Structure 1
Amino acid sequence: MITLLALSGSLRLGSSNTVLLEAAALLAPAGMRIAAYDGIGSLPHFNPDLDGDNPPRSVMALRHLVGAADGLIISCPEYARGIPGSFKNALDWLVGSSEFPGKPIALFNASPRASDAQAALRLVLTTMSARIVEEASITLPLLATRMDAAGMAGNVEIAASVTAALAAFARAIETFAQAEPGGSG
C-alpha cells in the first residue's frame, strides 16, 4: 500500500487547491491511500529556538505524518507572486527534520497563473532535498470553476490528468524504494 500525505498551501475553505487534493483522494487507484493534513494553520510561527530536542507537539505530529508517508502531494496557491506565508512556515518546520530529505513530491497546481509560486516552491523544496517527481506534477485550469471534489473526479479531463499523475507518482515511488539499500530490487 502506497500512503501519500496531501498538503494544501491554502487555508481558505473551498480552496481549489484543497478541493483538487480531495479529488485526488477520490481518484486514488487500488493500493494507494491519500490522507489530508489539515494542521498548517495551527502550526506555531517557526522559531529555531523551539526546534531543539522538544519541538511543539503540532510540529512533531506533522513530522511524524511526513515520515510515515511514502510521498507528498502538494497543491499551493500563489499569494503576491509567492508561497503563502502559512505554508512556507510549515516547510520551515520541516527543513531541519530527518523525515523530509529525499521525500518524493508531486506538485499539483490548480491555476496556470500561479507560476511564480510554483517556481518559488520548487526552489524551496529542492533546497530541502525533496525529490520532485516531474511526471507526477500537473497544472490544471481550476481557478473559479467552483467544482467540488466529486465534480472534479467526475470531470473526464481532470480525472484523466489526476489519475495519470497518481500512476506516475506510484511508479516513481516504487522505483525509489527499489533503488534504496534494503529495497526490493
Structure 2
Amino acid sequence: MKFLAISGSARRASTNTAMLYALQPAAGSTYAVSIYDRVGELPVFSPDLEENPPREVAALARAIADADGLILASPEYIRSIPGGLKNAIDWLVSRNEVIGKPIVLAHASHRGDDMLQQLRVVLATLSDRFNEQLFLRLHLMKLSPDEVAAYLSEPRHQEEMRRFLDAFANYCAAA
C-alpha cells in the first residue's frame, strides 16, 4: 500500500515534515510512504490555470493519483491553516485525483486545535473518505528535525506510528 504524506509547512526545518519522514522507517517494507514537502513551490491558485495546470501542480496531482491514501500534517499559523497548504488544497478541489481518496491527519504539536478544526472542515468537503477519528498526534514542538528523528526512532514511537499506518491501511482497503 502506498501513502503520500503531505507537509503543510514551507519551512525547511519543519517539525511536521520531520515527523512525516519518521513514518518511513515505521512503515518498514509493508507500506511505501512518500513525502511531499514542497507546498511552498506551488504557484498561487488561479481558476484560469486549471485546464492546463503548472507542472508543479500536475506533479502533485500525479503523486496523489498514485497513492492509496493521503496523510496530511501541518503547523498552525495564527490559529489557522497555513497559506501554502490551503493553496495546495485549492488546486485540488476541482481535480479528480482527490475524489474519494482516503485522507487522515497527523500533527506534531500539543496545540493547534483551531487550525485542525478548520482543516477537518476543509478535508471533509474535499473528500468523502476523510477520516476524522484516525489521527496521529505527537508532541514534538520546538524540536529540530534531527531531534524529531532521534525521538521518533525509539521503539515505542515507531510502534505508535506503525499502529497508525496499519489502521490507515485498513481504512484504505475498506472501500
Asked if 2 retains the 8 angstrom alpha-carbon contact of 1:136 and 1:164, the reply is: no
User: CA offset at residue 147 of structure 1?
Assistant: 5.3
Q: Which has the higher Rg, Structure 1 or Structure 2?
A: 1
**Unpaired stretches in structure 2, ≥5 consecutive residues:** none
AA aligned to 1:90 is A
Aligned length: 174
Q: Note the alpha carbon deviations across 1:86-121, whole angstroms, 9 max, x for none.
A: 110000000000010111112101112111111111
Query: What do the CA deviations read for 1:131-161 (whole angstroms, capped 9, x no partner)?
Result: 2234531111110133535313322442232
CA contact 2:8–2:74 (8 Å) conserved in 1 = yes
- Greater shift, 134-143 or 122-131, is seen at 134-143
The code of the aligned residue for 1:48 comes to: P
Query: Equivalent residue for 2:108?
Result: 110
- TM-score, normalised to structure 2, is 0.92
Contact 2:92–2:98 (8 Å) recurs in 1: yes
TM-score, length basis structure 1? 0.88
1:27-106 map, 5 Å: 27-52=26-51, 54-106=52-104
Structure 1 residues 150 and 143, CA, compared in 2 at 3 Å: closer, same or farther? Answer: closer
| Change over 3 Å in CA distance of 1:125–1:60 after alignment to 2 | same
Instruction: From the superposition, tell whether residues 113 and 150 of structure 1 become closer, same or farther in structure 2 (CA, over 3 Å).
Output: closer
Percent of aligned positions that are identical: 42
Q: Aligned AA for 1:92?
A: D
Give the ranges of 4+ consecutive aligned residues of structure 1 lying more than 4 Å apart after TM superposition: none
Q: Name structure 1 gaps, 5 residues minimum.
A: 177-185
Question: Structure 1: how far apart are the matches of 2:133 and 2:163?
Answer: 9
Task: State the Cα RMSD in Å.
Answer: 1.6
Q: Which residue of 1 aligns with 2:8?
A: 9
2:58 aligned partner, one-letter code: M
